Amino acid sequence: MNICVVALGKIGLPLAVQFADKGHKVIGADVNEKVVELVNAGTEPFPGEHDLDVKLKKAVDAGLLTATTDTAAAVAASEAVVVVVPLFVDAEGTPDFGWMDAATRAIAQGLKPGTLVSYETTLPVGTTRTRWAPMLEEGSGLTAGEDFHLVFSPERVLTGRVFADLRRYPKLVGGIDEASGARGVAFYEQVLDFDERTDLPRPNGVWDLGTAEASELAKLAETTYRDVNIGLANQFARFADKNDIDVKKVIEACNSQPYSHIHQPGIAVGGHCIPIYPRMYLWNDPEATVVRSAREANAAMPEYAVDLLAAAYGDLKGAAVLVLGAAYRGGVKETAFSGVFPTVEALKARGAVPYVSDPMYTDEELAAHGLTPHRGETVTAAILQADHAEYRELAASDLPDVKVLVDGRRTTDPARWEGVRRVVIGG
């Protein structure tokens, strides 16, 4: 097949490479000229995605992957179009469709009869049918479900392990009609491979959920579940702190039964997905009080971590505090909605002087994010924000003036911090 992937970001580019790796000819479309130049040179535009550098170069060298800024032309040359353009929401959960609207209009200009269009960007329920279908019809003069096929098929991968996740999890598809759904299933069966999994109710592979709305809800539901579960764990942890209970032991005990799947508490919930998609769900379902309460509970955790520090350290005014980790999670060079930002702001509100370090970031990169890099200044307190593997080896001798460490991820080794008051969330 000839396939167009619209937006060559941290999900779109690995997808394009995956399709090319299966022998299909892929055109990647992106508005960023620098990204297009790098892809055409076989060079990954961003680091950290396992195997992307090797697979990208192989696909480009084989002539199976090219990139362009001309989305309409790329669509016109393709039988299938996969859209992975970012969608942002504000603090109230209101989506900003600007980038996706622009991409959809460009797709419509190149759309021809018989083409499959698949949206993978997480969307509010109903968006594929009520927003994209009319926009594609208006710009192309074609009729959705008759002249072209339209599906929603959510990406279900994490950056850093995209290729492994594409094999591990079923690919969900939902069309605006039965024929679109069938075409979507057939497409993804040709471009993906799947690991055998005996734990699933049916064979791993492409699963047709029947409608675009069901597929949209599935993505919002699975990510919202995680936020709600973490919110519950954080509530348990805060109660445990008040009652001198080790919540980690409690959670391990509970999860020894197959009916309990309590997640781990922590200082923050970050990334492009878990903090965002519950807000998107709330935009559809504003009466979902459980979802709203969990989101509020998780958003309050950085402030709570600073509360723990102040309780153990005393007045933080003028105290130099090192925040360990700018990334939103360990091993990933990404600061999207990272807990580092509210943690730093909470420290500043108490008069502390916050510094930040991260093994994956240079001082210049941290400064570019508005953070003050730690360049050897004496610090007397520390808060661990990201669970980087490097922090497992961190010891009191590395920060000899630190009196209190708040480990927001239970990553550090207590034996390495003798003589320092080490505080964890949840006892």
Give per-residue pLDDT as tens, 38-52. 999 999 999 889 999
- Residue 72, C-beta contacts closer than 8 angstroms, at least 6 positions apart: 106, 107, 109, 110
Can you give the residue ranges of every domain in the chain?
Answer: 2-210, 211-427
State the CB neighbour count (10 A cutoff) for residue 400.
Answer: 11
**DSSP class of 130:** I
Q: Is 181 left (phi over 0), alpha (psi -120 to 50) or beta?
A: alpha
Sheet holding 404-407, edge to edge: 353-357, 320-324, 381-384, 404-407, 421-424
The token pair that represents 418 in the structure block: 């003798």
Q: Do domains 2-210 and 211-427 have the same CATH topology?
A: yes
* Cα–Cα distances in angstroms (integers) from residue 216 to residues 8, 107, 203, in the given order: 22, 21, 21
The answer to whether 353 and 320 are in contact (CB under 8 A) is: yes
CATH number 3.40.50.300 is the correct assignment for the domain at 2-210: no
From 237, 125, 124, 219, select the one nearest 173 (Cα to Cα): 219
pLDDT digits (tens, 9 = 90+) for 317-360: 999 999 999 999 999 899 999 999 999 999 999 999 999 999 99
pTM of the model: 0.91
**Digitized pLDDT (tens) for each residue of the chain, 427 residues in all:** 999 999 999 999 999 999 999 999 999 999 999 999 999 999 999 988 999 999 999 999 999 999 999 999 999 999 999 999 999 887 777 899 999 999 999 999 999 999 999 999 999 999 999 999 999 999 999 999 999 999 999 999 988 899 999 999 999 999 999 999 999 999 999 999 999 999 999 999 999 999 999 999 999 999 999 999 999 999 999 999 999 999 999 999 999 999 999 999 999 999 888 999 999 999 999 999 999 999 999 999 999 999 999 999 999 999 999 999 999 999 989 999 999 999 999 999 999 999 999 999 999 999 999 999 999 999 999 999 999 999 999 999 999 999 999 999 999 999 999 999 999 999 9
Q: What is the mean pLDDT of the chain?
A: 97
* Per-residue confidence (pLDDT) for residue 291, from 0 to 100: 97
- Which CATH code, of 3.40.50.720, 3.40.50.1980, 3.30.2290.10, 1.10.20.60, is assigned to 211-427? 3.40.50.720
Specify whether the CB–CB gap between 160 and 332 falls below 8 A.
yes
